[in-house]
A and B are shown apart, each in its own frame.
Chain A
Amino acid sequence: MNATYDVVIIGGGISGMMAAITLVGCGKKVAVVSKGDPVCCFSTGCVDVLADGENPLKGIGSLPEHHPYHLVGDKGIAEALGLFRGIMSAEGIPYVGDVHANRRVLTSLGRSKVTCLVPETMDFSDIDPHESLHILSFHKMKDFYPQYITSRYAKAAYSTFDAGVTTTVGIAERFEDSDFLDTFTTWMRGLAIQEERIAVPAVLGRGSSGAVYHRIGGECGRTVFEIPTLPPSMPGLRLFGGLKNAFLRRKGDLYWGRGIYSVEKLGNQIEAVTLTGPGRSTRVEGKAFILATGSFVSGGLQASRDAVMETVFNLPSYLPPGTRDAWFQDDFFAVGHEIEKAGIRVDASFRPLGTEIENLYVCGSILAFSEVMKYRCGHGMAIATGVAAAKACMGAYSGI
């Protein structure tokens, strides 16, 4: 099988999908090749932009000079986040928040976490320790233990509902069933909850949680919010589902469950990639390629005992100086391990440095110096660089 595209994107995470949707939105023929569920499915679904300070966009200027955000600029970041919100709203998963203001959400350990844009189901998650809170938990739920939270809040209580299943995804699945939802709301009304707010682990439905969320809020007459859980996390899965559907709705081609088997180059151009997978080999040609395979955790980068390599094109990768001992700090809680700086360095139009290849662009957490954990800029950086790389690609290839 052979197929030809304007742009082939390798990696179906947030940055790859945002690049893809940007390109199909401009009428380009686009393919996304993805090995499987991206790492954002493991995330809280919240869009961290930059955790430091009140206004994340203001903080961009003080990031180290090689941080990829500088290639996009605060205006570009705000635009990209606006585009993201539009896409997600159209998919029935609206995001709330202000790109100029950080906010807090409650975590499953009872801590609060700084983020920027959140799914509407977490809109009321910024809770004051003095407010009263009632948590609706589930019997034997594997990844949620309300005591972690109630112990930190003076006026917090919890009740436990038996959903008949114990996994996050299993319970979320049950909420898609209207009979189950009826039983749940009846039980909830029976509790006659007095507390001001109600929190639920993030299991309110699989796809768009809006209907379940608003029904529960309406029935109890309280503000309700979801608490993101350990992976697999429903808000993360919903986020990815939304982007994937948006791409497919715009007639993009998704090669799912496929890796890159080989790369064909002619001169300074990548011509095509052949995909791994069952059956006959699939050859995908493109005028331009975007690499969005993520960092180590997603497999875009791979470390050996003393080196780091990029796994698709074998691009030259930046590795912090020193031996492996210097890659990490000794303290687990000290964010900012040196190894996080590893990745691909790019020029102002997101083309990798140190290679002859001209029609390749790079975006997302595989970019060198992104240091996502240190700056808490994961999804924001993915969205911003994904859109920017797509624009750079279109700018350079007016023909595509």
Chain B
Amino acid sequence: MIRTDVIIIGGGSTGCGIARDLALRGIDHCLIEKGDFAAGATGACHGLLHSGGRYAVNDPEAGADCIAENTILQKIGRKCVERTGGLFVRLPGDSKRYRDTFLKACDAIGITTEELSPSRALDLVPALNPSLEEAIRVPDCSIDPFRLCMLNITSSQKRGGLVLTHHTVTAIIKEHGRCVGVTAREEITSDVKEIRGKIIINATGAWGDRVARLAGGSVPITLSKGSLVVTNHRITNMVVNRLRPASDGDIVVPNEAVCLAGTTSIPVTDPDGIGVDPGEVDIIATQAQEMLPDFAATRLIRTYAGVRPLLQSDGENGRSISRGFRIIDHRDGLFSIVGGKLTTYRLMAEKMTDTVIAVFGLKRPCRTAELPLEGQEELSGYPLSKRLKSLEDIVCECELVTADAVERVAGQVGTRYLGDIQHRTRLGMGPCQGGFCTYRALGIMQEKGKMTPEESMGMLRDFLQRRFKGIKPALWGDQLREEQLIESIYLGILNMEQEQ
């Protein structure tokens, strides 16, 4: 049995942020995550550090939180936030009145805006639709959500925080009406652990209601699926938004070596097993193409979807529901934190931790807004020049990941899954989507004794299925060529069958 003070369920940005905050305030804690970090909405968003512009008009409260947190994260995450800046572009036919409202709303909540002429905007982003009417510059930034989680967790682990990834919480233990612990099952071995704590925090986003129900509670959330597509290169170095009320396909975000374009908003009831519909891809591509005409000829290498856990309110659709957040005290030692956004994760963690501190009757101020994120010094960022230390032994040609890098990560304590390597090295994130390098990475992990050949075959099989699910909705053009090649490798050359 493991004993701790606070149990955090959920390894998304909120859970990881809470772990960091608790660690900095000296509270013993244990974080339990059923997959890898950022496996839910955190990792399935567009990696935008909102300026707040998107919400300024309809949801000024969330917009104000965004700009405040955006400023803080730029400061504490100097090396993990890319200060791309963002544009809201107005195309012919887009309402000029909305623009005026937008500028006023931004001003009211403190978002710095700059009105740009079409030629000035085209200087900044040459791929913009040349017939744009104008653009408004805002301090949007981009961020790698997985990395953000890892950096937050670094602070936790440095201070003795316990992290259990690939552990599913199967039950919440109640004694005398109070939640006193959980049981968690390891994904591969099915080993069950019991963890006891004084407070349990449910930071499971779209899975929030399910987890609350383990303790007999409930969480009022509405689930909204958002789908995105990944391009095989950067079309723009700035975030490009459409200057009009939020709608499908109104944003393109540069992130590392690619651009992410989205999104859609479709109500769903089950956060598991969601997928992207080819029709959604067509909508996103058509809309993105209006802002960036080159998008039409750009190869899409992947699609993915995440589920937004939105605070429930009656009669509203997914787009108009507030992006604000709430802490629910279930009054039995369980707290749920729901709603919010990646951009406001730190604020959410701060409020949640404040609540915990108050319960414990302590007075320890939050320092997460002042102290830089730990571990970011080692980050290289996306420029290839920095990753090209060695051309020798590259196993992932798309993202220039070397065998040494894979071996280093494979050799670390805790690395057990293919995803651990992919997230930590960006292996398999490029145009072939791991078609070549996955076989190699798993081969290296076998050599390192990190997994048995049976495990690696299982992972390879899962990987190929997940990969195909993500690629299938956008299979045409060059990506279809690539896919035929990958198919011929795994089903032809290697003759990999589905079942043993």
Contact = CB atoms under 8 A, between A and B. Distances in A.
Given A147-B447, A166-B393, A325-B278, A332 B468 contact: yes
A142 B403 contact: yes
A113 interface: yes
Nearest to B439: A230
B185 to A, nearest CB: 27
Nearest to A166: B393
29 contacts: A42-B485, A108-B493, A109-B457, A111-B494, A111-B496, A140-B403, A142-B403, A147-B443, A148-B446, A148-B456, A148-B457, A166-B392, A230-B439, A231-B436, A231-B485, A233-B493, A299-B481, A303-B475, A325-B278, A330-B468, A330-B469, A332-B490, A333-B465, A333-B491, A334-B498, A335-B491, A339-B480, A373-B488, A373-B491
Interface residues of A, number: 50
Interface of B is mostly: helix
Contact of B476 (A145, A304, A376): A304
A352 interface: no
Interface in B483-497: 484-485, 487-497
Nearest to B467: A332
B363 to A, nearest CB: 55
Contacts of B490: 332
Nearest to B443: A145
Given A114-B495, A328-B475, 16 more contacts: A109-B457, A110-B453, A111-B495, A113-B493, A143-B440, A147-B443, A147-B446, A147-B447, A230-B494, A303-B476, A324-B476, A327-B475, A333-B464, A333-B498, A335-B491, A373-B488
A325 B285 CA distance: 16
Given A147-B443, A299-B481, A230 B493 contact: yes
A109 B495 contact: yes
Interface string B423-467: 000000000000010011011101100001110110001001101
A134 B259 CA distance: 47
A3 B138 CA distance: 60
Nearest to A110: B453
Interface in A41-64: 42-44
Given A299-B481, A302-B477, A303-B477, A44 B436 contact: no
B278 to A, nearest CB: 5
A305 interface: yes
B5 to A, nearest CB: 43
Contacts of A334: 498
Contacts of B440: 142-143, 145
Given A107-B494, A328-B472, A332-B467, A43 B447 contact: no
Interface of B: 277-278, 282, 285, 392-393, 395, 403, 436, 439-440, 442-444, 446-447, 452-454, 456-457, 461, 464-465, 467-469, 472-473, 475-477, 480-481, 484-485, 487-498
A109 B491 CA distance: 11
Contacts of A223: none
Interface of A is mostly: loop
Interface string A294-311: 011111001111000000
Interface in A273-313: 295-299, 302-305
Contacts of A43: 488, 492-493
Contact of B278 (A44, A114, A324): A324
Nearest to B475: A328
In the A-B complex, the 9 residue pairs with the smallest Cβ-Cβ separation, listed nearest first, are A145-B443, A151-B453, A333-B498, A332-B468, A113-B495, A297-B484, A303-B476, A109-B494, A147-B446
B485 to A, nearest CB: 5
A140 B442 CA distance: 13
A20 to B, nearest CB: 24
A125 to B, nearest CB: 12
Contacts of A376: 492
Contacts of B443: 144-145, 147-148
A37 B393 CA distance: 24
Interface centre among A109, A110, A166, A332 (most CB of B within 10 A): A332
A218 to B, nearest CB: 29
Given A142-B395, A230-B439, A109 B484 contact: no
A16 interface: no
A241 interface: no
Contacts of A114: 495
A305 B282 contact: yes
Nearest to A335: B491
A107 B403 CA distance: 23
A314 interface: no
A44 B452 CA distance: 27
Contacts of B285: 305
B462 to A, nearest CB: 10
A330 B273 CA distance: 13
A142 B392 CA distance: 11
Interface centre among A144, A231, A297, A325 (most CB of B within 10 A): A297
Contact of A373 (B282, B457, B469, B487): B487
Interface string A198-239: 000000000000000000000000000000101101000000
A323 B281 CA distance: 13
B255 to A, nearest CB: 24
Interface in A91-117: 107-114
Contact of B492 (A44, A151, A339): A44
Nearest to A113: B495
Contacts of A42: 485, 488-489, 493
Contacts of A140: 393, 403
Contacts of A13: none
A297 B488 contact: yes
A331 interface: yes
Contacts of A242: none
Contacts of B485: 39, 42, 231, 297
A65 B469 CA distance: 32
Given A112-B495, A142-B393, A166-B393, A332 B464 contact: yes
A147 B443 CA distance: 7
Contacts of A298: 481
A233 B485 CA distance: 13
Interface string A135-165: 0000010111101100110000000000000
Contacts of A152: 453
B465 A332 contact: yes
A305 B464 contact: no
A109 B468 CA distance: 20
B446 A109 contact: no
A304 B453 CA distance: 39
A44 B493 contact: yes
